[in-house]
Structures are given as C-alpha cells and as structure tokens.
C-alpha cells in the first residue's frame, strides 16, 4: 500500500507518529534508493529535520496543526530554496550564488506544514521531455530503471512513484508535469496559466510556464493545490487572483458534468494502449460524445516557436559565450531560437489569442474533456525514435505531442495514472481537461477515476506507517 500525504498527516495529528519519525524514514529511503532512480540532486537533510521538529513542537503545545503538517515533499531544482544554488538542471548555474529566499510556493508549503526534503532532477532549463541530463545523469523510471521518467520534471515524477516523497512540485510549459505523471504512473496537476505564482522559480518560457504539484493520490493532490493557492503581488499573472478551494467539491462526483473525449489529432498521435486508456477513462466518467479540439497541430507549432524564442532570449549571453556548457541535446534548439525571425514570434502570439478563444468556446458545451497524456509508455533511456501507429517520430519532442496543444491554451489539466493492456506493465496516463479556472471540475473527475480502481498509483516502494 502506498503511503499518501494525508495518511502521514493524519498519523501525525493523532499522535501515532511524530513528524521527525516520518522524515527520518523518508531520508533513509532516499539515501538507499536514489542511486537507482536519480530523482534527487540535493537533499536538504538539516532543514527537513528542523522543520519536522517544529511540527512536533506545535503538536506537543496543543496548537492547531496546518493542513500538510509533517508531509514530506521535494521540488524540481528550478525552485529557489534558501541557501541552495538553483541549478535548473544546468552546469552553468552552478556558478550562481545560493538563493537568498525560498520560492513563493515553497513558502506556501512551509506555511501549510510541509517538510522540504530536497531538490529534484530535471531537463536542463526545462527544455526536454525525458530528463536525460548529461550533467546530473538521467532520472530513471521506478517501474523500469532502463526507461525514462519523462520530463522536464522527471525527478518529481520518479520521486513520487518511488515513494521517496508523497508530494512533489514541478513545472509545466509544454507538458513537463503531465508527461512524467503519465510515464511514472502518478497524479499531476497543471493548473490554469496564472493560477499559481511563479516567483522564485527559474523561468523557461514566461508566457507559457505553469507550476503545479504531483502526488500519490487525488486527495493529497487537492490538499497540496489548495495550500499553494494565493495571490502574489510580485507575479503579474496572479497578483489579483481569487482563491478557489477544490476540497469542498472533491467528492461530488460527475453527476451533472458534461464529459467528452477528444478525437482526431488525439487519436492520430496516440498508440493503441494510449487510446484505450483514454476510452476507458471516458467510459468511467460517462462520456458518450466525441469532441474536436480546434487547431491542435497549429497550436503545437506556435508553442514551439514561442518556446524557442523566449527560451533562447533568456540565455542569449551564455549561448554566445558558453555554448559548450549547455546540454548537448538542447543547445541546438536554443541556438536556433536565437535566429528565428521576430515576425514568427509575433504571429505565434497573435494565433494564440485567437486559439484560446476557440478553445474556451468548447466549454460552453463541455465541462471536462478526456485525452491521452503521452502517445506511448516510457521509452528506453537513450531512445532517439518512438513508433506511433506505424510512423517513426523523434522521441524527445514527440512525447509532448498530446500535451502541448492543451497547455498552449492555458487550461487546467489533471494527469491521471492508468494501466492499459499491452504496455508490458508500464503506466500510461490520461489528461482530464477543464475550462480555465475550473481545477475543481478536473479534480472531481479525477476522484471518480481513482474510486473506480482503474486510475491508481503503484509505487515501486511502499513504506509502512
């Protein structure tokens, strides 16, 4: 049985365990397993022990405990952690000074009682879908360590799947939460663009970057997401945000929800097991109608243009002076972005405004839409190509074929772990997509899938409370 964040929190509240016992157990587990999975690039042991002791002191004093009291978590290494260098998966950033303060979402987790255990592996500067990092080594899939954990938040997905932590934070620009969730078989949430503050995280593509949580169950995912919500006057995208808790509606089921399944493009670029996973999820949620998503191929192309332009602009100086220190699998894409005509970027942003309007019109008729999350299950580490319905595609970009069109519209998505046939026992997730600002609907549908028993996390290691 996988130990969830809320199992841990309840045991601490009841006095069955101390936060210190929980954290020491997780730290020992990370020490004994990280050589196999390579999820952690930094373990913040002293901080974790101090935060656990503070939770135990609150309980001893009879004080009310916060919603994530004593819950261990870790963050993708693009989040600032006070006193730790923010690597963002790179060699170049090693030369930077340690962060002077925690990222906004790390502050939110600490206020909610979470205990930070460290920083997690990722693709360099978040430009990738496999976390095959030549500087820090690949993050390995806990279900088969010869396979990719996905990316760019591969360490986050692997750490939850390996039960090193029950909760992790990551980022998603073109699919970097949903791809690792799908390949590692864990729950992930990419919120609406602008929902969660990005302050104190190393950027990739400012106009598309999202931050969000991973978890081993839906309840923990919702608790974590609600704890993270807050307006932030220093992030223009969410400075006036109204908090909308999801927990009160989590168990309302799908009665009254209009659920559809995406077809066309989302069939063409999904293998038979991926289509089967989406069709099963749609059936369990009562979807009877097929839905056409507008212009997904064009959206993916526009996302590529904006990604290359903004990403390369951010690193322009280092690309000109230290190109040899970049990740070999991404440096050419960064360099090509420097040479893109400005008119391509402008046209892509113009298209995006029209595209979002078209996508939002879908939700006049539908509340939740279902699609596969990745075309195939986890590929072998080092794979250059994947086969999708008899056609060969370059592995690294093709893992985002089904996620890029969705995040380009800014919609919230829960990635649900599914286990279809003919994958050799590997997970292969689905996307539960809702209208902007309606994370509650996506999480309600996710809870129904989890209750069905078909959408489950099967951790490589199950700790014992």
Per-residue pLDDT of the chain (465 residues; tens, 9 = 90+): 568 999 999 999 999 999 999 999 999 999 999 999 999 999 999 999 999 999 999 999 999 999 999 999 999 999 999 999 999 999 999 999 999 999 999 999 999 999 999 999 999 999 999 999 999 999 999 999 999 999 999 999 999 999 999 999 999 999 999 999 999 999 999 999 999 999 999 999 999 999 999 999 999 999 999 999 999 988 888 766 778 999 999 999 999 999 999 999 999 999 999 999 999 999 999 998 999 999 999 999 999 999 999 999 999 999 999 999 999 989 999 999 999 999 999 999 999 999 999 999 999 999 999 999 999 999 999 999 999 999 999 999 999 999 999 999 999 999 999 999 999 999 999 999 999 999 999 999 999 999 999 999 997 654 433
Residue with tokens 């390369």: 312
Q: Which residues of 228-254 are buried (b: 16+ CB within 10 A; e: fewer)?
A: bbeebeebebbeebeeeebeeebeeeb
* Helix H or strand E segment including 168: strand 167-172
Known catalytic residue: 76?
A: yes
Cα gap 174→399, rounded to integer Å: 10
Known catalytic residue: 152?
A: yes
Residue-wise pLDDT tens digits, 99-150: 999 999 999 999 999 999 999 999 999 999 999 999 999 999 999 999 999 9
Known catalytic residue: 156?
A: no
User: Which one, of 378, 384, 383, 360, lies nearest residue 434 by Cα?
Assistant: 360
Which among 176, 181, 312, 330 is annotated as catalytic?
Answer: 176
- Paired tokens of 253: 């089921």
pLDDT the model gives residue 463? 42
CA 170, 176, 179, 184: dihedral to nearest 10 degrees? Answer: -30
Domain ranges of the chain: 5-452
Which among 18, 148, 152, 312 is annotated as catalytic?
Answer: 152
Burial label for 335, CB within 10 Å (0-12, 13-18, 19+), is middle
CATH number 3.90.1300.10 is the correct assignment for the domain at 5-452: yes
Which among 18, 26, 76, 330 is annotated as catalytic?
Answer: 76
Q: Please name every residue paired with 413 in a beta bridge, in sequence order, or none if there are none.
A: 190, 433
Cα gap 24→147, rounded to integer Å: 29
DSSP one-letter string for 228-271:
H----TT-GGGTTPPP--SGGGTTS-STT--EEEE-THHHHTS-
User: Which one, of 61, 40, 59, 244, lies nearest residue 156 by Cα?
Assistant: 40
Residue with tokens 């800014």: 410
């Amino acid at each position: 049985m996988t130990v969830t964040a809320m199992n841990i929190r309840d045991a601490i509240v009841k006095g069955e365990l101390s936060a210190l016992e929980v954290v020491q157990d997780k730290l020992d587990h990370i020490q004994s397993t990280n050589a196999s999975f390579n999820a952690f690039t930094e373990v913040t042991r002293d901080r974790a022990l101090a935060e656990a002791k503070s939770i135990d002191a609150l309980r001893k004093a009879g004080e009310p405990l916060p919603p994530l009291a004593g819950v261990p978590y870790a963050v993708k290494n693009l989040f600032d952690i006070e006193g730790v260098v923010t690597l963002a998966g790179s060699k170049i950033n090693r030369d930077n000074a340690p962060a002077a303060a925690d990222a906004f979402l790390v502050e939110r987790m600490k206020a909610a009682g979470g205990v930070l255990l460290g920083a997690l592996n990722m693709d360099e500067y978040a430009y990738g879908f496999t976390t095959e990092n030549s500087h820090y080594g690949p993050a390995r899939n806990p279900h088969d360590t010869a396979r990719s954990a996905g990316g760019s938040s591969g360490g986050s997905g692997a750490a939850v799947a390996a039960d090193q932590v029950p909760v992790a934070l990551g980022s998603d620009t073109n699919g970097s939460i949903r791809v690792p969730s799908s390949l590692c078989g864990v729950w992930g949430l990419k919120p609406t663009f602008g929902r969660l503050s990005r302050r104190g995280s190393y950027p990739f593509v400012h106009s598309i970057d999202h931050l969000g949580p991973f978890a081993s169950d839906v309840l923990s995912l919702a608790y974590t997401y609600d704890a993270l919500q807050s307006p932030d006057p220093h992030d223009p995208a969410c400075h006036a945000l109204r908090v909308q808790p999801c927990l009160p509606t989590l168990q309302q089921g799908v009665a009254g929800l209009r659920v559809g399944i995406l077809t066309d493009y989302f069939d063409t670029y999904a293998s038979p097991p991926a289509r089967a996973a989406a069709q099963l999820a749609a059936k369990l949620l009562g979807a009877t109608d097929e839905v056409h998503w507008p212009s997904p191929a064009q959206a993916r192309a526009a996302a590529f243009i904006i990604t290359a332009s903004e990403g390369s602009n951010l690193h322009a100086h280092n690309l000109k002076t230290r190109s040899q220190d970049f990740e070999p699998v991404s440096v050419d894409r960064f360099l090509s972005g420097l040479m893109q005509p400005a008119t391509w970027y402008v046209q892509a942003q113009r298209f995006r405004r029209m595209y979002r309007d078209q996508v939002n019109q879908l939700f006049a008729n539908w509340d939740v839409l279902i699609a596969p999350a990745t075309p195939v299950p986890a590929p072998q580490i080092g794979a250059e190509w994947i086969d999708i319905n008899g056609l060969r595609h370059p592995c690294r970009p093709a893992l985002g074929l089904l996620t890029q069109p969705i995040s380009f519209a800014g919609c919230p998505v829960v990635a649900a772990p599914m286990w279809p046939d003919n994958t050799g026992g590997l997970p292969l997730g689905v996307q539960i997509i809702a209208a902007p600002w309606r994370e509650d609907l996506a999480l309600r549908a996710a809870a129904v899938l989890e209750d069905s028993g078909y959408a489950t996390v099967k951790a490589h290691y199950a700790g014992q409370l």
